[in-house]
Structure 1
Amino acid sequence: MVAQSGVVPASHSIACVVAIAVGGDHCIWKISPGESAQSWIDCTSVAVACVISAWSARNGQSWAHRLLKLQVCDQDSNLTISGLRMGVREIAHLTDFASLFIGFLWPLWDGRGQTFADKIMGTTVTRKQ
């Protein structure tokens, strides 16, 4: 279900992506004219968000990272990560949400300044030089 703000809740987004991957009943192409279009809207929203995210995330930077002059780097090699790894990192941010947002506050007392998603993905956020 799309929230009032027009954002698809993360839990429904993941369920939609999984349904598309395994050919479930919530796939865009399986909705009959008599069914609610909500699933179609949700799946389309997820697809558009994924395309925009993958297209805009280059050199370890999303548009927001570019604005703030930050970049996401591998914690071991300190090289910027790919757009695909940025996308997987975004999905890993679900752990930050699932922990009642503690994952987003974790960098305040973590030695490396990493969220739970950064720990999972082995990344750090640094100032771009």
Structure 2
Amino acid sequence: MFALWLRRAAAYVLRIVLPTSLMSQFIGTLLFGRSSPEGTAGTWIVCLCLLFCGIVSALSTRDGQSWAHRVMRLQVVDQDSGMPISGSRMGLRELAHLADIVSLGIGFFWPLWDGRGQTFADKIAKTMVIAKI
């Protein structure tokens, strides 16, 4: 059974968006005295924090579940075999989420009308997110 979009979105917010935001604000405050440095420095801080959070997500993956997937009772599986993906494959999938981002966010909403419930990253990585009972 495909995972509900709202649960998927919550897992992404928990494992990527929230930690990236908090970490970049903390680093900006330490380095520049304000939580949102402007210009190139602020962009680099956010990009590096995003990369770091993606790596942590991949390293925390067990049986196709990052820590946030476990909390939301979701599992990322291979679209052909249905087997859980590895941490390295989760890392590649996290990197593929750049396609969801550069499409102005449309890729994140794609599961709402896609027959397999896949984001652009899922299509690239050949994965699906299912609800784990």
Equivalent position of 1:60 in the other structure: 64
Superposed counterparts of 1:1-129, under 5 Å: 5-7=22-24, 45=49, 48-49=52-53, 51-129=55-133
Q: Quick one: distance in 2 between partners of 1:99 and 1:44?
A: 20
Give the direction of change, closer, same or farther, for the CA distance of 1:4–1:107 in structure 2 (3 Å limit). closer
Deviation at 1:57, TM superposition (A): 1.2
Gaps of 5+ in 2: 1-19, 26-40
Gaps of 5+ in 1: 9-37
| Bigger share in helix | 2
Equivalent position of 1:32 in the other structure: none
Give RMSD over aligned pairs.
2.8
1:64-108: CA deviation from partner (whole Å, max 9, x where unpaired): 110011000000000000000000100000000000000000000
Deviation at 1:128, TM superposition (A): 1.3
Local SS of the residue matching 1:119: helix
Query: Scaled by the length of structure 1, what TM-score is found?
Result: 0.64
Deviation at 1:46, TM superposition (A): 6.7
Q: Quick one: distance in 2 between partners of 1:61 and 1:4?
A: 22
Bigger Cα displacement from structure 2, 93-102 vs 55-64: 55-64
Query: Scaled by the length of structure 2, what TM-score is found?
Result: 0.62
Letter in 2 for 1:106: W
Q: Quick one: distance in 1 between partners of 2:22 and 2:100?
A: 21
